[in-house]
Structure 1
């Protein structure tokens, strides 16, 4: 892409949309937490995002993916003026206004449709996917609780139900005892 093309709104909008998806999926944050994220909450040198959650609680989340960090850095550079003019809110629309929760929900839904995913995708689905994938990769549920900003472990345990369904399917199909049972019939 030519340097002058990077200031065209189509490119800027696409970049912003990638940043929205990256932040939702990489942090597991709630849609309201992403909508209210300020530029000052993002430390690209250390790769951290400070999320201001429910009840005024703060949590810091590490962004480890180099592509995500590069995209965020590019976005922050190209949108610096708009971000500064908008009270420091990170995510802005073409008019320079802060993206609302509803704008982000619509954006995510539209991107899912364009990608022909075939299922309804919402910011909460990305949050749920974040938690479920961590759980499936043996991350301790207490750590997931902390990342999601849940006060109670009971809230986080909702994600274990999905994991139990997957576990049942795996055991029904792969456990050696299942082959033994069929051999006896």
Structure 2
């Protein structure tokens, strides 16, 4: 029986690095503005309650960077607005606390929280009073992204990636971002350092003194 040369060959297949898609902070602002505009235009109690819910969904995603599954799993007991924090149950039943530091976000969530809580323990609910689904969250984002005339298909994960990337660009230590996102390994969080090279290029183009020098 001949020797199979493949037995002694060591092959490594390196999967291509898929950088997370993000949007600009101005795009996030445009989406939020569309949601608040709809909220201000609402006339009936039903449309007001739905708009309050939609704004709460968008603000929570951007304020915390949580996963859509974590968002939909939030219960009333997890949202402590007087103490200004959210308790999130992440992957592997790992609990983390995220502080809410923006007054407008607190005001928005308080307005939504004051709506009829009914008997359902879930914080975010659909029109029937049951727990909001992940698909419904995607539809909410898509609705206001279209109203903001964004060409890119915006998903809950893009909100999460944008949250992380913007923090990194503000020089937040990657270990803090890891903890906020609920990553068990820093390796997962480090992918955002690749995304921030876009900002690095922009900084070097605008700020580097060599670009203001004329040699010839």
Answer yes or no: same fold by TM over 0.5: yes
- The partner residue of 1:60 within 83, 89, 97 is 97
Question: Is 2:56 aligned against 1:23?
Answer: no
Number of equivalenced pairs:
175
Q: Secondary structure at 2:165's aligned position in 1?
A: helix
Question: Is 2:144 aligned against 1:107?
Answer: no
- The partner residue of 1:42 within 55, 64, 79 is 79
- CA deviation string 1:114-170 (max 9, x = no partner): 222232211111111111111111111000000000011111111111111210232
Please give the TM-score of this superposition, normalised by the length of structure 1.
0.89
The residue number in structure 1 matching 2:12 is none
Which has more helix, going by share of residues? Answer: 1
Query: Which has more radius of gyration?
Result: 2
Q: Secondary structure at 1:51's aligned position in 2?
A: strand
CA distance in 2, matches of 1:140, 1:7: 45
CA distance in 1, matches of 2:116, 2:60: 16
CA distance in 1, matches of 2:124, 2:43: 17
Q: State the shift of 1:174 in Å.
A: 2.6
Q: Which moved more, 1:15-24 or 1:131-140?
A: 131-140
Question: Is 2:155 aligned against 1:122?
Answer: yes
For residues 129-148 of structure 1, the aligned pairs below 5 Å read: 129-148=162-181
- CA deviation string 1:79-99 (max 9, x = no partner): 322xxx22x111101111111
- Structure scoring higher RCO (CA < 8 A, sep ≥ 6) equals 2
Structure 1 residues without counterparts, runs of 5 or longer? none
Please give the TM-score of this superposition, normalised by the length of structure 2.
0.77
Question: Is 2:44 aligned against 1:11?
Answer: no
Query: Considering only aligned residues, what root-mean-square deviation do their CA atoms show, in Å?
Result: 1.5
For residues 160-171 of structure 1, the aligned pairs below 5 Å read: 160-171=193-204
- Give runs of ≥4 in structure 1 deviating > 2 Å: none
Structure 2 residues without counterparts, runs of 5 or longer? 1-41
